[in-house]
């Protein structure tokens, strides 16, 4: 999107001078470094069941461990177990003891994926699940699809949000779910929900992040309030230079695409678990090899993560 020079100066000034969200502390350097790492060529586009994807699992697990998060262990969850979906999927809870396991002997008809799950225990068992998918498109025709915005941005945000809440005492138990196989039909998220005991009763909310780092007009979208209007008030009057736009969730609105089933939050919605989905409009680099760290909007991303933390705080205190 193109802006007049005055508009550009205004946006730059807004990002550099706005202090309203100063109460939210996020290490910008670390946030960007984690995004840059996950979207580097070393991970070969994090294609599902590929070595770069397994390397991403190791990296995510190491970050959760570094942050001191707990593992989520309950009936139905073990250190490693399988589910078949025209192949095989393993969900791993960090620390990933077998992350370096050689899967070269797995039959061609079988694929192996994994979710990485971390937790901060709250005052109650009522849970807020904060999710983002870490898989992307891998290597195609010799080109690496790094998926910086889609969705290394959401995954790196998980670390920042977890770090923010780690030193606090949240009302809700917070689960940080880095899920796999979104690009193949939300398989990781579906697996997570299906294997979460009493999911509908225990999960108060899913906050999903998918593409939150690439927008030239300071606009972030939040979807879900059409289906769950009780979640609207917590999204209002936020202290941020970003314009938070509500929508993309009404099937009757012909002026907007309906994102209700567009990402991992759909797995929760289908189980009647409320969700809020944060994302940007599709951009020129969407699902292209140009979705790289160099093409994200760094200041926008930083402010988006701080805004989302405000929202998580609002829901934690009010639900």
Mean per-residue pLDDT over the chain, rounded: 85
Number of domains in the chain: 1
- In a domain? residue 214: yes
| Least-confidence region, from 17-31, 52-66, 149-163 | 17-31
- Amino acid 102: pLDDT: 57
- In a domain? residue 279: yes
Q: CA separation (Å) from 316 to 79, 106, 140, 231?
A: 28, 42, 41, 12
- Amino acid 170: pLDDT: 97
- In a domain? residue 170: yes
Band (101; pLDDT cuts 50, 70, 90) = low
- In a domain? residue 21: no
162 or 112, higher pLDDT: 162
Residue 247 has pLDDT above 80, yes or no: yes
- Amino acid 90: pLDDT: 52
- Amino acid 85: pLDDT: 29
Q: CA separation (Å) from 245 to 182, 240, 251, 262?
A: 24, 13, 17, 17
Band (147; pLDDT cuts 50, 70, 90) = very high
Q: Average pLDDT in the 108-117 region? A: 73
Residue 103 has pLDDT above 70, yes or no: no
Band (191; pLDDT cuts 50, 70, 90) = confident
- Amino acid 177: pLDDT: 93
Report pLDDT digits (tens) over 268-304.
Answer: 999 999 999 999 999 999 999 999 999 999 999 999 9
Residue 183 has pLDDT above 90, yes or no: yes
- In a domain? residue 128: yes
Domain that holds residue 219: 32-318
197: nearest Cα among 264, 127, 134: 127
Report d(CA 264, CA 55) in Å as an integer. 21
Residue 261 has pLDDT above 80, yes or no: yes
Report d(CA 80, CA 114) in Å as an integer. 9
Instruction: Provide, for the chain, the percentages of residues in helix, strand and coil under a 3-state DSSP scheme, each rounded to the nearest 5.
Output: 40, 20, 45
Report d(CA 20, CA 195) in Å as an integer. 40
**CATH code for the domain in which residue 116 is found:** 3.40.630.10
- In a domain? residue 268: yes
- In a domain? residue 25: no
Q: CA separation (Å) from 168 to 122, 173, 177, 315, 316?
A: 9, 12, 19, 15, 12
Report pLDDT digits (tens) over 30-86.
Answer: 999 999 999 999 999 999 989 999 899 889 988 998 999 888 765 333 333 232 223
Token match 């205190």: residue?
Answer: 317
- Amino acid 128: pLDDT: 98
| Least-confidence region, from 36-50, 107-121, 128-142, 207-221 | 107-121
- In a domain? residue 17: no
| Least-confidence region, from 76-85, 136-145, 260-269 | 76-85
Residue 99 has pLDDT above 70, yes or no: no
């Amino acid at each position: 999107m193109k802006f007049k020079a005055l508009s550009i100066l205004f946006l730059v000034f807004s990002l550099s001078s706005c202090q309203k969200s100063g109460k939210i502390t996020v290490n910008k350097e670390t946030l960007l470094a984690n995004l840059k790492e996950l979207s580097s060529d070393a991970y070969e586009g994090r294609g599902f069941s590929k070595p770069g994807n397994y390397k991403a699992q190791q990296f995510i697990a190491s970050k959760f461990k570094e942050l001191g998060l707990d593992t989520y262990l309950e009936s139905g969850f073990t250190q490693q177990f399988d589910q078949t979906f025209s192949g095989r999927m393993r969900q791993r809870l960090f620390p990933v003891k077998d992350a370096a396991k050689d899967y070269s002997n797995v039959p061609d008809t079988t694929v192996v994926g994994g979710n990485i799950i971390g937790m901060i225990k709250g005052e109650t068992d009522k849970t807020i699940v904060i999710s983002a998918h870490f898989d992307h498109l891998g290597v195609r025709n010799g080109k690496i699809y790094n998926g910086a915005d889609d969705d290394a941005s959401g995954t790196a945000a998980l670390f920042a949000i977890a770090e923010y809440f780690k030193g606090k005492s949240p009302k809700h138990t917070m689960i940080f779910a880095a899920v796999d196989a979104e690009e193949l039909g939300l398989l990781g998220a579906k697996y997570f929900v299906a294997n979460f005991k009493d999911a509908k009763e225990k999960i108060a909310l899913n906050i999903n992040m998918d593409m939150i780092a690439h927008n030239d007009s300071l606009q972030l979208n939040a979807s879900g309030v059409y289906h769950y209007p009780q979640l609207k008030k917590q999204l209002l009057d936020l202290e941020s230079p970003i314009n938070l736009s509500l929508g993309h969730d009404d099937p009757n609105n012909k002026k907007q695409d309906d994102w209700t089933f567009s990402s991992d939050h759909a797995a929760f919605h289908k189980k009647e678990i409320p969700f809020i989905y944060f994302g940007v409009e599709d951009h020129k680099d969407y699902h292209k090899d140009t979705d790289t760290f160099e093409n994200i909007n760094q200041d926008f991303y930083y402010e988006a993560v701080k805004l989302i933390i405000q929202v998580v705080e609002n829901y934690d205190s009010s639900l």
